[in-house]
Amino acid sequence: MMKILAAVVFALLGYWLITWVLEQFGGKRPVEPQGGSGEYHNAGAAPPPQDRAREAVQQYCRELEIDLPFTQAQLRDAYRRKMSEYHPDKVATLGKELQDLAETKSKAINVAYEQLSPLARG
C-alpha cells in the first residue's frame, strides 16, 4: 500500500513540476536585442524581410563554404569543389541512401550558386 501511495505522490509532484516548468519557459520566449539597432523584438515573432534575406544569403554561403564578400571566381571554385563531392554520378555505384543524399545536396548546391551569383563581385 505504501508503494502505491508513494507512486501516486511522486506522479503528482512530477506533473506539478512539469506543468510549472512549461508555464515558466514554454510560453513566451525572452526578448532579444535586434542586431545593433538598439531595438528589441519578441524572439517568437518573424524577423523582418531584410533579416530573412540576410539569413538566406548566409545559409547559401554555408552551403558552398564561402565567406562574404566573394568574387565570381571564388564562387565558381566553391561551387565546383562542392559539386565534385556530391555530384550524383560520383555516387552512382553506392547505396540508394547515399545516392539520395547526393541528389539532395547537389540540388541545394545549385540553388545556392544561382542565388549567390548576382551578389558576386567582378
pLDDT digits (tens, 9 = 90+) for 72-102: 999 999 999 999 988 888 888 888 888 888 8
Question: Can you tell me the distance from the alpha carbon of 112 to that of 9, in angstroms, rounded to the nearest whole number?
Answer: 56
Residue 33 lies in a domain: no
Residue 98, domain CATH: 1.10.287
Between 107 and 25, name the one with better pLDDT: 107
pLDDT, mean of residues 58-84: 92
How many whole angstroms separate alpha carbon 1 and alpha carbon 81? 69
Q: Which residues contact 120 (CB under 8 A, 6 or more apart)?
A: 70, 71, 72, 74, 75
65 within domain boundaries: yes
Q: What is the 3-state secondary structure (H, E, C) of the chain?
A: CHHHHHHHHHHHHHHHHHHHHHHHHHCCCCEEECCCCCCEEECCCCCCHHHHHHHHHHHHHHHHCCCCCCEHHHHHHHHHHHHHHHCHHHHCCCCHHHHHHHHHHHHHHHHHHHHHHHHCEC
Span 100-115, pLDDT tens digits = 888 999 999 999 999 9
The residue range of the domain holding 67 is 49-119
Tally of domains within the chain: 1
Residue 54 lies in a domain: yes
